[in-house]
Amino acid sequence: MKTSDRVYPLVSLLFVLVFGQLLMSCKQASNPSSVQPGSVTGVASLWDSAGPMASSVGVTVALDNSNYSTQTDATGFWKIDNVSPGNYNITVSKSGFGLCKAYGITIEGPGTASLSPQMTFEAAATDAPVISNLAIHQGGDTGSVTSVVGAISVDNNNSSITPVIFMDLSPNVQPGDAHTLFQLWRANEYINNQFGWSVDAIHQAGIPSGTTVYISASEVNFGSVWHPGGAGISSGSYSDPVDNSIHFITPGSRSNVIAVTIP
């Protein structure tokens, strides 16, 4: 066999590889990707007991599980550009004012999605309630166990702020987390600042007899509101559609925590 007989196939193979790469490059250049980024914008304003504050700067807006985030300007306006198309959950938060989430915001490509109308944050309460006198209440002629009761003391004159009592399965659950059971406390509904859950209601919530639960409280500013897409106003709380749990937007400091075993 001649030397030239071994060279020509190799040259032909190199030509095919190079030509193929050129064809692929030309095809890519002539068909640019149709997936283009978009933007999302909104308003998150800060209020105090007197109304809108002079500046709403510094509210953090973040697209969950991504690197996209920004902060509001003095008017409360924010915008995030160059967002890859997709569905996002958005967290809006500022220390001392609270946290809220919006779910399923869709970025479809070029253009701007709007988180509207807006989020209004009022300042969180600074005082923590105190839980006391927690006991198992015996009721009825037979002396049967009927409820878990306790007392709460609060020190706040703001009509927008309401104490909320929580019952949780862990001692580490914070006021802004989801809770196993909770109830709003209104002074005109209770005697001697007492609150309580019936044992039947506790069992119906999935807490069996013999379970240790942890009771605490927080003051929640229900002046904070989330305006979901113009469909209504949810005052002081938002719902997580993943587990249908309720979260409070602007809870204050946590009270003391008292453990009790459910009868």
Are 255 and 138 contained in the same domain?
A: yes
Give the domain range for residue 46: 38-122
Each residue of 6-48: pLDDT tens digit? 433 433 333 333 333 433 333 333 333 457 899 999 999 998 8
Are 98 and 210 contained in the same domain?
A: no
Contacts of residue 155, Cβ cutoff 8 Å, sequence gap at least 6:
127
**Structure tokens of 188?**
């005109």
Q: What's the confidence (pLDDT) of residue 224? A: 84
Residue with tokens 């702020």: 161
Mean local confidence (pLDDT), 107-111: 85
User: Based on the number of CB atoms within 10 Å of its own CB, is 54 exposed (0-12), middle (13-18) or buried (19 or more)?
Assistant: exposed
Are 43 and 115 contained in the same domain?
A: yes
Mean local confidence (pLDDT), 220-248: 77
**Structure tokens of 5?**
């007989």
Quick check: 174 and 254 in contact, CB under 8 A? yes
Are 152 and 251 contained in the same domain?
A: yes
Are 101 and 137 contained in the same domain?
A: no
Our count of domains for the chain comes to 2
Nearest partner of 192 among 234, 221, 149, 229, judged by Cα: 149
Distances (CA, A) of 37 to 30, 81, 111: 20, 8, 8
CATH number of 154's domain: 2.60.40
Give the max Cα distance, the chain.
Answer: 114
What mean pLDDT is reported for the chain? 81
Query: Would you place residue 219 in the very low, low, confident or very high pLDDT band (cuts 50, 70, 90)?
Result: very high
Mean local confidence (pLDDT), 53-66: 96
Are 209 and 150 contained in the same domain?
A: yes
Residue 1 maps to a domain: no
Final residue belonging to a domain, choices 122, 150, 172? 122
